[in-house]
Structure 1
Amino acid sequence: MRRRRFVAGAIGTLSALALAPDPARAGSTDASTPPMPVPVPVPKGWHPVPAPGSTPPAQLRRIAAAGPALAWAVGEEQFGGAGGGRALAMTWDGSAWSRVDLTVLELTRLSDVAGVDAGFAWSVGQRAGGASALLRWDGTTWREAAFPGQGEPDLRLYAVAVSPARRVWVAGLRGGALRLLHGDGNRWRWLDPLPVTSAALHRVVWRAPGDVWVCGDRSNGGGWNGLVARWNGSWSVLPPITGLRLGIGDVHADTPDDVWAVGTEAGVGGPPGRPGNPALAHWDGVAWTRPDVGFTVGALSAVAADARGRAAWISGWNYQDQTRSTYLRRDGTGWTVVRGPQGPAPAPYLHDITRIPGTGDYWSAGMTRPVAAPPTETYTERFGA
């Protein structure tokens, strides 16, 4: 960042010299005329974007974008109590976020969202008591969609992904087994069970036609390890990512043998509210390695790709930096810590990050504080000029 400012300043200086009057013609120049200002390019960076008010404590769990003028964010408000919260949804129209009325759905939260255009976006939500709902965006609001097994008492939907070809992939639990629900919005089918027991899924990610990834955690007897698996017509479960109560919140595959996974390692326990440790893992086709993150206390939450489909940004939270949001940015073969805009302490807690198609910009979303208590509110940032 320091080097970028230096280069911009050098360009400005050279431009000023080029525009300065020729000394040989100084006599014909009005010395009282101030020099013309030289525009200096504004470097890209992260900027907070106001979100509509909601009832604290509130948070955005996931964010998705179809382009510069359309994005969706979902989460919950008034959460953390014994009775559960209320589902919360927002849309971006190119200039501002606005709330979507979800009253008729009677949901306690929306857990995930994915979309490719105004006519094809999907979300999953939850009702009081745990029943799950699959939702489709109709261009104006979210409406409940029918699917096989809907209403079964033990059925749960956790996460959703969509492909450019308008196919939907939903990670869920049915009949006591983790599965994928796959369809086009009209016809659906449940795929074969994931061959893992005592596990939970947190994310499903579409990579290419017939190539879908899931992540979460699985029991190791005294705690849990990170879980990553791939569906390409059948299941391939990668070796567990070992750690002390380690859960994986997101996964991105540049290729099947070049995979990045992020999450949090809760450690050996401690007092309520004790922060964990950020977890970054890389699969090279043979084994997992754990690259250095750049900070030691906090969390990593999500991965966003660039226009070529390569992992480019990771959202997180740095307990040791309580004035700014925290990201990792791909720097060659490694990652560099990038700090967001400075603001009041405590720092925002980011749950998700996504690329804005057709641009080099990104959205991130989460909550204004890492504590699930008032006055915590919804929060978004945008990376751009």
Structure 2
Amino acid sequence: MRRRRFVAGAIGTFSGTALGPAPARADAPTPRTQGWQAVPAPGSTPAAQLRRIAAAGSQLAWAVGEEGRAGSTQGRALAMLWNGAAWTKTDLSHLAHTRLSDVAGVCSTAAWSVGQPAGSGSPLLRWDGTTWREAAFPGKGEPDVRLHAVAVGHDRRVWICGSRGGAARLLHGDGQRWQWLDPLPVASANLYRVVLRSPGEVWVSGDQSNGGGWSGLVARWDGAWTVLPPVAGLRLGIADVHSAGPDDVWAVGTEAGVGGPPGRPGNPALSHWDGTAWTRVEAGFTIGSLSGIAGDAHGRAAWISGWNYQDQSRSTYLRRDSDTWTVVRGPAGTVPAPYLNDVTSIPGTAGFWSAGMTSPAPAPPTEAYTERIEA
């Protein structure tokens, strides 16, 4: 069985590209609006999208993705830099990559990105204060090495999830010395996100084969692997995970369902781990996806980025209100149908960034897109 991999902003995988935009349901509850503002991210070549975003503070943030994609033709890596006042496109002409898939950073000298090369092997990139440069690591250039996501701690140590030797793994290092850790003890697993809760506690999410499809995968590394029970669903992939403690873990993603025509929208998947079992939680809409989750200054899950197929007029979020999640909409009239791939907190503030693209399909004239909430 060849499994269709879950990726943020997948080309027609879970978006409505084949079916077209759906009108808002007349009987749907009216969602709240709360403070999100579009922030221009100029300079990308359509089709373009930002897949991930990271912030070191109010004056420094990075966003990465791809641009210049046309149909099945691969595009080029795209990187943006926030200087506290505006986004600017970073020159990547010295690199030969088709996509940057994730980014993480805590200061101007401790930011990292991983991507998809034009040839074999996955690149690891380091921010030098001006641009992105390739960094060495064990396995660089090997055709079976794939780096999917990256996290950086306040101690500037780097955690990367990917695969080597046919197994899902973590790569850990300080920029000079690197080590591949023990393989994840799950057969046929894909990892899409790595999240650092503390210097010794790392979470990953993705999917795993269940014999007839795939289930959501969440695991913790604290010197050894602890794999939580699979998140049940019909072809379910977990795009992001947030842990506030061993009995308070949230997982978000998309359930592809029983199948259908190319471009069939999936269903948003939101699940909570209470230390004993997973509980499926209603997302507030039934067709679409959930792509990212971010915590507040106290480490508590606060915002989820998503896409509501049945009402694409604005961006869609879930906001944590006490013990419930409430649908919140982004700004009206900024772009026709924004699609969000990620959301992240802004350290030292009560604000958050989100990133994605100006329509659900990365095809011209789609461009890079960001939003921000300051409180």
The answer to whether TM tops 0.5 is yes
Which residue is 1:253 aligned to? 243
Separation (CA, whole Å) in 2 of partners of 1:306 and 1:230: 21
Q: Does 1:356 align with 2:342?
A: no
Which residue is 2:321 aligned to? 331
Larger radius of gyration: 1
SS of equivalent residue, structure 1 residue 164: coil
Which residue is 1:129 aligned to? 119
Separation (CA, whole Å) in 2 of partners of 1:146 and 1:83: 28
Q: 2:181 aligns with which of 184, 187, 191?
A: 191
- Change in 2 beyond 3 A, CA 1:379/1:118: same
Aligned residues: 343
Q: Is the 8 A contact 1:278 1:296 kept in 2?
A: yes
Q: Does 1:141 align with 2:131?
A: yes
Q: Following superposition, which runs of at least 4 residues in structure 1 exceed 4 angstroms of deviation?
A: none
Q: Does 1:96 align with 2:86?
A: yes
SS of equivalent residue, structure 1 residue 366: strand
Structure 1 residues 213-224: aligned runs within 5 Å: 213-224=203-214
Separation (CA, whole Å) in 1 of partners of 2:303 and 2:120: 33
Which residue is 1:378 aligned to? 368
Q: Is the 8 A contact 2:150 2:159 kept in 1?
A: yes
Describe the superposition over 1:219-257 as per-residue Cα deviations: whole angstroms up to 9, x where unpaired. 111111000000000000000001011000000001022
SS of equivalent residue, structure 1 residue 109: strand
Which residue is 1:227 aligned to? 217
Query: Structure 1 length normalisation: TM-score?
Result: 0.87
Structure 1: 5+ residue stretches without partners: 1-42
SS of equivalent residue, structure 1 residue 217: strand
Q: Percent identity?
A: 73
- Change in 2 beyond 3 A, CA 1:358/1:107: same
Which residue is 1:62 aligned to? 52
Deviation at 1:132, TM superposition (A): 0.5
Which residue is 2:199 aligned to? 209
Describe the superposition over 1:268-327 as per-residue Cα deviations: whole angstroms up to 9, x where unpaired. 111221111000000001000001111101100000110011110000001111211000
Which residue is 1:16 aligned to? none
Deviation at 1:345, TM superposition (A): 6.8
SS of equivalent residue, structure 1 residue 132: coil
Q: 1:275 aligns with which of 239, 258, 265?
A: 265
Q: Is the 8 A contact 1:83 1:128 kept in 2?
A: no
- Change in 2 beyond 3 A, CA 1:330/1:222: same
- Change in 2 beyond 3 A, CA 1:335/1:151: same
Q: Does 1:288 align with 2:278?
A: yes
Q: Does 1:151 align with 2:141?
A: yes
Q: Is the 8 A contact 2:38 2:334 kept in 1?
A: no
Task: Give the aligned residue type for 1:225.
Answer: S
Q: 1:114 aligns with which of 98, 104, 107?
A: 104
- Change in 2 beyond 3 A, CA 1:320/1:81: closer
Task: Give the aligned residue type for 1:306.
Answer: D
Deviation at 1:372, TM superposition (A): 2.2
Deviation at 1:134, TM superposition (A): 0.4
Separation (CA, whole Å) in 1 of partners of 2:136 and 2:144: 17
Q: 2:167 aligns with which of 168, 171, 177?
A: 177
Deviation at 1:57, TM superposition (A): 1.1
Which residue is 1:264 aligned to? 254
Deviation at 1:82, TM superposition (A): 3.7
SS of equivalent residue, structure 1 residue 242: coil
Describe the superposition over 1:159-216 as per-residue Cα deviations: whole angstroms up to 9, x where unpaired. 0001011110000111111110001111111100000111111000000121000000
Q: Is the 8 A contact 1:277 1:296 kept in 2?
A: yes
- Change in 2 beyond 3 A, CA 1:80/1:207: farther
- Change in 2 beyond 3 A, CA 1:130/1:289: farther
Task: Give the aligned residue type for 1:376.
Answer: T
Structure 2: 5+ residue stretches without partners: 1-32
Q: Does 1:163 align with 2:153?
A: yes
Bigger RCO (CA 8 Å, 6+ sep): 2
Separation (CA, whole Å) in 1 of partners of 2:374 and 2:36: 7
Q: Does 1:315 align with 2:305?
A: yes
Which residue is 2:231 aligned to? 241
Separation (CA, whole Å) in 1 of partners of 2:351 and 2:82: 14
Backbone CA RMSD of aligned residues: 1.3
Q: Is the 8 A contact 2:34 2:329 kept in 1?
A: no
Q: 1:368 aligns with which of 350, 358, 371?
A: 358
Separation (CA, whole Å) in 1 of partners of 2:134 and 2:350: 33
Separation (CA, whole Å) in 2 of partners of 1:174 and 1:272: 31
Q: Is the 8 A contact 2:316 2:328 kept in 1?
A: yes
